[in-house]
Amino acid sequence: METLTRTHLSTFQLTGMTCTNCEQKIEALLSQIPDVASVKANHLENQVVMETERPVSLTVFEQALAKYPKYQLAEIKPQTTITENIDFETKTSFWQTYKPLLLIFAFIVGVSAITSFHENSFHWMTFMRTFMAGFFLVFSFFKLLNIKDFANSYAMYDWLAMKVPAYGKLYPFIELALGIAFLTAFNPLFTNIATIIVMGFSSLGVVQSLLDKKKIRCACLGAVFNLPMSTITLTEDLLMVAMAAGMLLM
């Protein structure tokens, strides 16, 4: 039985870090605390983001760093619940869990199919371009509703967002730009190559999270819905890569 446990996200100011070695030391020390699921430190922004299985007091974190007095913690964002208790076998069905995502997917497919059928023929190139435009525009919309929380969730598994938090805040705008580019048929060669790079790289962090069996929230729909990280997330990314590659070959 697969269960997604309730987790909490906390952001702290951490002074004293000067390099990536400091980041690795902080992550190693704080990861030893019971109930800590993941730790992401960033010396450029003097911040550390921690995901825990239950609320953990600041004192506990300070004790873990007691041997290194140059590191000083201060909570700058209260702990917030980022996932809900979900029992995939007994509490919620596949449909209940992924209903928002499946409805959005069906809506985009339907609109794309309608716009691609004319003169008694179906135009696959139009379908793929319209689908990808809809995908990026809709998904970027949900991310833009709460950029900060999306960026925190995204940094839990995306390799670049882990190291450069600003990338997580920029990512919704990248998707928005790609959506507009597909909608307007702007420079198809550049747009498709950019999609392959962005979505292909994003899928690497998803693969690692799945292999590590992390029970974290998928950030694909921003902070609006609590969707668990799963192969569905990987399928989304790889589908975009495959469609972009297909458009390059057609």
**Count of CB atoms within 10 A of residue 46's CB?**
16
Q: Please give the pLDDT value at position 172.
A: 95
As a whole number of angstroms, the distance between CA 16 and CA 5 comes to: 33
Provide mean pLDDT across the span 17-40.
84
Task: Give residue-wise pLDDT tens across range 169-226.
Answer: 999 999 999 999 999 999 999 999 999 999 999 999 888 888 877 776 777 777 667 7
Going by pLDDT thresholds of 50, 70 and 90, the confidence category of residue 78 is: low
As a whole number of angstroms, the distance between CA 15 and CA 199 comes to: 34
Provide mean pLDDT across the span 93-104.
81
Question: Do both 113 and 224 map to the same domain?
Answer: yes
Question: Do both 111 and 69 map to the same domain?
Answer: no
Q: Please give the pLDDT value at position 173.
A: 96
E runs forming strands in the chain: 3-4, 8-15, 36-42, 47-52, 72-81, 86-87, 117-118, 121-122, 217-218, 227-228
Instruction: Look at residue 6 and tell me whether its pLDDT is greater than 60.
Output: no
Question: Do both 47 and 168 map to the same domain?
Answer: no
> Domain for residue 89, yes or no?
no
Question: Do both 104 and 75 map to the same domain?
Answer: no
Domain containing 103 equals 94-249
> Domain for residue 169, yes or no?
yes
Question: Do both 113 and 231 map to the same domain?
Answer: yes
* Residue at a domain's end among 81, 103, 123: 81
Q: Are the C-beta atoms of 228 and 215 separated by less than 8 Å?
A: yes
- Domain with 34 in it: what CATH number? 3.30.70.100
Count of domains forming the chain: 2
As a whole number of angstroms, the distance between CA 209 and CA 199 comes to: 16
Note if the pTM is more than 0.95: no
Question: Do both 38 and 100 map to the same domain?
Answer: no
Pairing of strands 47-52, 36-42: antiparallel
- Poorest-confidence range of 64-78, 84-98, 146-160, 163-177? 84-98
Mean pLDDT value across the chain: 83
